[in-house]
Amino acid sequence: MPLHPDRYFDPNPTVRDLSRRLYQGVAGLPLVCPHGHVDPKLLADDEPFPDPAALIVVPDHYIFRMLYSRGVSLESLGIPRRDGAPVETNMRKVWQLFADHFYLFRGTPTACWLTHELEDVFGVTQPLDGRSAQAIYDQMLACLERPEFRPRALFERFRIEVLCTTDAATDTLEHHKKIRESGWSGLVLPTFRPDAVVNLENPDWRSEIARLSEVSGITVTSFSRYIQAIEARRVYFKEMGATATDHAFPSPYAAPLSSAEVNGIFDRALAGQTREDDARRFNGHMILELARMSVEDGLVMQIHPGSYRNHNRHIFETFGADKGCDIPTATEYTRNLLPLLNRFGNNPRLRLVLFTLDESTYSRELAPLAGHYPALRLGPPWWFFDSIEGMLRFRRSVTETAGIYNTAGFNDDTRAFCSIPARHDLCRRVDAAWLADLVSRHILDLDDAEAMIADLALNLARETYRL
Amino acid sequence: MPLHPDRYFDPNPTVRDLSRRLYQGVAGLPLVCPHGHVDPKLLADDEPFPDPAALIVVPDHYIFRMLYSRGVSLESLGIPRRDGAPVETNMRKVWQLFADHFYLFRGTPTACWLTHELEDVFGVTQPLDGRSAQAIYDQMLACLERPEFRPRALFERFRIEVLCTTDAATDTLEHHKKIRESGWSGLVLPTFRPDAVVNLENPDWRSEIARLSEVSGITVTSFSRYIQAIEARRVYFKEMGATATDHAFPSPYAAPLSSAEVNGIFDRALAGQTREDDARRFNGHMILELARMSVEDGLVMQIHPGSYRNHNRHIFETFGADKGCDIPTATEYTRNLLPLLNRFGNNPRLRLVLFTLDESTYSRELAPLAGHYPALRLGPPWWFFDSIEGMLRFRRSVTETAGIYNTAGFNDDTRAFCSIPARHDLCRRVDAAWLADLVSRHILDLDDAEAMIADLALNLARETYRL
Amino acid sequence: MPLHPDRYFDPNPTVRDLSRRLYQGVAGLPLVCPHGHVDPKLLADDEPFPDPAALIVVPDHYIFRMLYSRGVSLESLGIPRRDGAPVETNMRKVWQLFADHFYLFRGTPTACWLTHELEDVFGVTQPLDGRSAQAIYDQMLACLERPEFRPRALFERFRIEVLCTTDAATDTLEHHKKIRESGWSGLVLPTFRPDAVVNLENPDWRSEIARLSEVSGITVTSFSRYIQAIEARRVYFKEMGATATDHAFPSPYAAPLSSAEVNGIFDRALAGQTREDDARRFNGHMILELARMSVEDGLVMQIHPGSYRNHNRHIFETFGADKGCDIPTATEYTRNLLPLLNRFGNNPRLRLVLFTLDESTYSRELAPLAGHYPALRLGPPWWFFDSIEGMLRFRRSVTETAGIYNTAGFNDDTRAFCSIPARHDLCRRVDAAWLADLVSRHILDLDDAEAMIADLALNLARETYRL
């Protein structure tokens, strides 16, 4: 269906008119993107996108996950196998298969985003289905060949004020360097994500440590050298413009270890002799070390906990990570974070942004914590909850306890570059709809709501991430 | 109050009109009932129902539970005691007591269903209360004496396309046979529910095993013979038309045991020497065995976990099971189901329908699992959540991640035969209201919503249960 | 913004008109306050309130918690330190700082309550912010000097029918005595809260026991003497008008100990040698003892579990308890309460009112328990959930399973005396809005809704608390 100007607004005329008014105040604001997964190489090289399927289907686990759940094989969608065995390479066929199954996305944010992206970026206004698939493919392909559809041109057209990427601790940030040195004015900043050198369960941990030694110039032979190497990388990331770090701990568990304990665990890990529970205990110690570093260097610390990664072993072994088979688990914050918050929670130099995949913690733990500790902010509804109902549940569960000023504004958190405007637009519309509802019930007055929509759309993200 | 044609629809005129339109497209469709607890004897014998209280009050724990919670004794409601001590036998008195307390159900689905049932089945349009009780009793009694109120006539009047019952593994299915052999055209199918021979905590487990030996013709002297006997019963159930099994494990815990372990547990159980934790470990193994059987024979596997059965010991000892004192517990799916899903979750021959009594798992675990694994479907909101708000919470929590096409359509799950049309009608109305809301906010277009309402009302149930 | 007559009502004209009608039927009813934390000294002495900041900011952790979360120090808000170090004493400055940050409360119940309180109690109609702060301060100060703003005059103006306070087991209730003996007609009743003598983790437990011996006249040298002393205090509280007790167990865990075990734990505690887990096990035993006492003496038993008290150690050490740093934890009821409910849950002499800070338990555990056990009632949404969205979530999650007649009506649960009318009014409006929505969807008829709003506003509280 073509994009309706009042989409996502309540149909009650009073609320709809308020929603419109609030939305129009922020619809044209630039996009601040403090957390996401766009590959910086895209903007460094500025090459044309190859084709619609390679742009939209192959890299997006939100999409192929759903098709897989209804029996479509990942091979037939062109997802590369680890063993190099053949998969579909005819991108027209991949696109057709996607379009044939697009009805599966009815009522999902993926459908909302894609509809917006097709119309707004590519001028496609007819609904995507099996019949329209090839014509839409042709129309998009013709666009992609034009210079104004190159990544940097789109970045500018999207009015992106700043785009933060997510980068391994061992990354040389060569693409970021290339962007800087190109003279192009787009602001693309790295984010320090050291999971691969922190998580002892990572099968490549030792080779990652070797790489850490190499890029930091500090040979990691002990825990203290390891900490020095991490700190050196943070200095480098800051020089390259980073304002934040990101951490995907399985849980927000924090518990300090004695020097002897942490050295022992680290030495065992270096020797390839990690014991049961070492990884969990090491995480509990490292979350505190990383928070200490953030206090010292001012990098905003993000924690994205609670995902059971690669739940489907067959898919992981055949296709690798990030293939739509990470499944959330119940997550506990109140007791787990106690040692961290008692050490640093009152310190205004720490800015800790918490995310969750367990909505039952919004009102029970996260809002009470954020409504008290100066160091805390709540990240926007994450992953499965980056959606219309998900955003409404978040605001309705969190605001009465923590207000909006202990929340971090919006993150698009996406690797799908062309979906960025759709995601921000959806969030701005949902925020407008939420505020309009509060105004219509006389819980807020309109002046307050107008200030709040601007804060939600832009100011909170800028301020939270020290951008 | 008399039934309003727009009941359960949003009063906003736009949304109400859309709701009406969507509802009218499915209001007259037949009823597919893939999971429920109607006694097949009812349709085998086709005898008249005795009286309104015996029809509505005495068998329905949704009803007497609520009266009990406000101090009405089960004896006064005619609920039979195990010890045979006298209980109220004057059904007019039972009905009067129910009517006196009918105000307790204000705002509950029981009130919605009963109001529908009274008007639609019995033509009663005045509200039920203490004053109207006897007149309504008389009116219903007069109906029940007429041939068109016999079970088979009602089955046809209700437009039931297929009714699946729930039957013990040891059931001879004699009532199903009688129905088949009667030449009556109504389709009534059994469902294989082996809980009584799987749950080692069942105090009658050994006599159930004896019975299993008898009906299967396989003397169960070992775990391997036990598996053979269960498989034999499944063959028989399939011959009798079953397309599904059902399992009420306390949790969805799955973990394979070695042959030695499972043989040891089984032999101890046969000897009446079950040890602590044997039952839990046996369940963890059997859930995998039963999934394997479903892969092999194609019976759809339903799991209804998380109920703490017979929480009120006094009521259980005095009146027996299913007396309204089963209480939900927190339920974990992500880790518990990992071994099962890694073994069978990618296998299209498995169809596993998951239910829950823990709504916090909808968005956290169930929708992400169902939105990825081909074998999984989510059952409709169950038991306490088979209600207007419960259905809306389910759809709003699940759809954005899993869509509707990984859900199983509607189950009425009832032993109250005459409430079946009311339950389906309520669900169709709530689905229409939910979809109308999405259309009114331009999240769906009307064409999509019209396809979806038909899928929700009929197609998903048929397809999920291989009917 | 000035108070809107339709505040908190749905803007749909049908629903709004129904809301108005329902609300108007109860707006003028007296206020029944069965649970709260107003200091009885206030009404015993009937002295003028000192100034706006001392009235509104300094005692209210809902308020200073939020300012603290955004970097405002508690010292600058005049919160007294335990060490007597200086804090702000200029109340005009405190008020200014509060007003400067009042925008943080946008969308919170604190903003709703305060706006109501300012207009309805003090006649302030301009919005509170940094510019209006001093003028509003002056206007309120002028009010507070007038006799009609003394506590007893306000009690009468607020139409409080009964106000229950919360009092330690060792309290002499001298203020309650003074009120009684003053000849003033206001009804102020104590509530028995023995936490300080039950919780072995209380660092002052031994001095509290010494005080218990003193006030009860029973020298507590053993567990049996301890039980006698508690029972003696309950007799005294009943004589002074108490109808209820209150208990803040960390969890609702119940498990009886043998005499030897409980005597051992108690003797160790008296000797200052409490071992790990003693406190938890003692709680599990005492919850059963206290329920037994309630069965015997008829005092309604309230349990407020699940708060991790004084989570922020620095704030606790510097400023003491109740400073906005209590954080909820996940709470389990089904298994924890099993021993208590099996012993007393069928006994109509017990009235047990359960509260929660874990909303996931509403539909999963609390409503099913309350919809079955005669002894149980569910307390209103507590603390962080005493809010518009919190109340709606509670009613929508609980009613379909437990109805409204297993809930306890409203508690204002406040120490902020002047906010009492605002809190009751907000609840009555939200109840009206909730019921109007049900009527507009034809789930209830208007007659039923009119009966229900009166029950929610007044009758359920009176009946539940045996007032």
Q: How far is A451 from chain C (nearest CA, A)?
A: 10
pLDDT of C81 over the 90 cut = yes
Chain A within 8 Å of C312 (Cβ-Cβ)?
A: yes
Question: What is the pLDDT confidence band of residue C2, given thresholds at 50, 70 and 90?
Answer: confident
Assess contact for B33 and B39: CB atoms under 8 A: no
Write out chain A residues lying below 8 Å of C314, CB-based.
342, 346
Select the residue of B373, B441, B451 nearest A8 (Cβ to Cβ): B441
C432: its two tokens: 């009206």
H helix or E strand, kind and range, residue C95: helix C91-100
Write out chain B residues lying below 8 Å of A315, CB-based.
346
Could you give phi then psi for residue A193, rounded to 5 degrees?
A: -125, 95
C308/A404 Cβ within 8 A: no
Assess contact for B461 and A25: CB atoms under 8 A: no
Chain A within 8 Å of B15 (Cβ-Cβ)?
A: yes
Measured CA to CA, the distance from residue A440 to residue A446 in angstroms comes to: 9
Chain B within 8 Å of C451 (Cβ-Cβ)?
A: yes
pLDDT of B245 over the 80 cut = yes
B400/A108 Cβ within 8 A: yes
Chain B within 8 Å of C337 (Cβ-Cβ)?
A: no
Select the residue of C11, C106, C324 nearest A444 (Cβ to Cβ): C106
Chain C within 8 Å of A438 (Cβ-Cβ)?
A: yes
Select the residue of C400, C402, C404 nearest B389 (Cβ to Cβ): C400
Write out chain C residues lying below 8 Å of B60, CB-based.
none
Q: How far is C266 from chain A (nearest CA, A)?
A: 28
Select the residue of C374, C399, C443 nearest B71 (Cβ to Cβ): C374
Write out chain C residues lying below 8 Å of B330, CB-based.
332, 360, 364
B303: its two tokens: 């799991």
Chain B within 8 Å of C349 (Cβ-Cβ)?
A: no
pTM over 0.90: yes
Measured CA to CA, the distance from residue C58 to residue C88 in angstroms comes to: 11
Measured CA to CA, the distance from residue A318 to residue A321 in angstroms comes to: 10
Interface test with C, best of B3, B4, B7, B69 (most C CBs within 10 A): B69
- Average pLDDT over chain C reads 97
A303: its two tokens: 């924690």
Q: Report how far apart, in Å, the C-alpha atoms of C162 and of each of B338, C45, C243 are.
A: 56, 18, 12
Question: What is the pLDDT confidence band of residue B395, given thresholds at 50, 70 and 90?
Answer: very high
Select the residue of B346, B363, B441 nearest A384 (Cβ to Cβ): B363
Percent of chain B residues past pLDDT 90, beyond the cut: 100
What is chain A's pLDDT, residue by residue, as a tens digit (467 residues)? 579 999 999 999 999 999 999 999 999 999 999 999 999 999 999 999 999 999 999 999 999 999 999 999 999 999 999 999 999 999 999 999 999 999 999 999 999 999 999 999 999 999 999 999 999 999 999 999 999 999 999 999 999 999 999 999 999 999 999 999 999 999 999 999 999 999 999 999 999 999 999 999 999 999 999 999 999 999 999 999 999 999 999 999 999 999 999 999 999 999 999 999 999 999 999 999 999 999 999 999 999 999 999 999 999 999 999 999 999 999 999 999 999 999 999 999 999 999 999 999 999 999 999 999 999 999 999 999 999 999 999 999 999 999 999 999 999 999 999 999 999 999 999 999 999 999 999 999 999 999 999 999 999 999 999 99
Q: Report how far apart, in Å, the C-alpha atoms of C381 and of each of B219, C155, C385, C397 are.
A: 57, 24, 5, 11
Chain B residue whose CA is closest to A1: B445
Question: What is the pLDDT confidence band of residue B1, given thresholds at 50, 70 and 90?
Answer: low
Give tens-digit pLDDT for B6-28: 999 999 999 999 999 999 999 99
Confidence (pLDDT) at B2: 73
Q: Report how far apart, in Å, the C-alpha atoms of C414 and of each of C60, C110, C185, C304, C327 are.
A: 9, 12, 22, 14, 18
Q: How far is A245 from chain C (nearest CA, A)?
A: 22
Assess contact for C391 and C385: CB atoms under 8 A: yes
Interface test with A, best of B401, B437, B444 (most A CBs within 10 A): B401
Give tens-digit pLDDT for C413-467: 999 999 999 999 999 999 999 999 999 999 999 999 999 999 999 999 999 999 9
Query: Long-range CB contacts (< 8 A, 24+ apart) of A237-240?
Result: A237/A167, A237/A173, A237/A190, A237/A191, A237/A192, A237/A299, A238/A297, A238/A299, A240/A173, A240/A176, A240/A177, A240/A180, A240/A189, A240/A190
pLDDT of C299 over the 80 cut = yes
Measured CA to CA, the distance from residue A360 to residue C325 in angstroms comes to: 20
Confidence (pLDDT) at A2: 73
End-to-end CA distance of chain A: 37
Interface test with B, best of A7, A327, A355 (most B CBs within 10 A): A327
Helices (H), A345-387: 360-361, 367-370
Select the residue of A334, A360, A441 nearest C327 (Cβ to Cβ): A334
C6/A371 Cβ within 8 A: no
Measured CA to CA, the distance from residue C89 to residue A221 in angstroms comes to: 56
pLDDT of C376 over the 80 cut = yes
Chain A within 8 Å of C34 (Cβ-Cβ)?
A: no
Select the residue of C69, C314, C389 nearest A370 (Cβ to Cβ): C69
Chain B residue whose CA is closest to A362: B360
Chain C within 8 Å of A373 (Cβ-Cβ)?
A: yes
Which are the contacts of C31, defined by CB distance < 8 A and separation ≥ 6? C158, C159, C160, C161, C412, C420, C421, C424
Amino acid found at B98: F
Write out chain A residues lying below 8 Å of B408, CB-based.
none
**Binding-face residues of A in 181-200 toward B, CB within 8 A:** none
Give the SS3 label for residue C460. Answer: helix
Confidence (pLDDT) at A1: 58
Select the residue of A373, A397, A404 nearest C106 (Cβ to Cβ): A404
Confidence (pLDDT) at C1: 58
Chains that touch C (3 or more CB pairs under 8 A): A, B
B1/C348 Cβ within 8 A: no
Give the SS3 label for residue A87. Answer: coil
Question: What is the pLDDT confidence band of residue C40, given thresholds at 50, 70 and 90?
Answer: very high
Chain A residue whose CA is closest to C66: A371
Write out chain A residues lying below 8 Å of B15, CB-based.
11
Measured CA to CA, the distance from residue A78 to residue B316 in angstroms comes to: 57
Chain C within 8 Å of B119 (Cβ-Cβ)?
A: no
Write out chain C residues lying below 8 Å of B7, CB-based.
441-443
Write out chain A residues lying below 8 Å of C6, CB-based.
442
Write out chain B residues lying below 8 Å of C331, CB-based.
none
- Average pLDDT over chain B reads 97
Chain A within 8 Å of C325 (Cβ-Cβ)?
A: yes
C103/A448 Cβ within 8 A: yes
The structural domains of chain A, ordered by start, are 13-49+147-464 (3.20.20.140), 50-146 (1.10.2020.10)
Residue reference for tokens 């529908």: B116
Chain B within 8 Å of C454 (Cβ-Cβ)?
A: no
Confidence (pLDDT) at A279: 98
Chain C within 8 Å of A450 (Cβ-Cβ)?
A: no
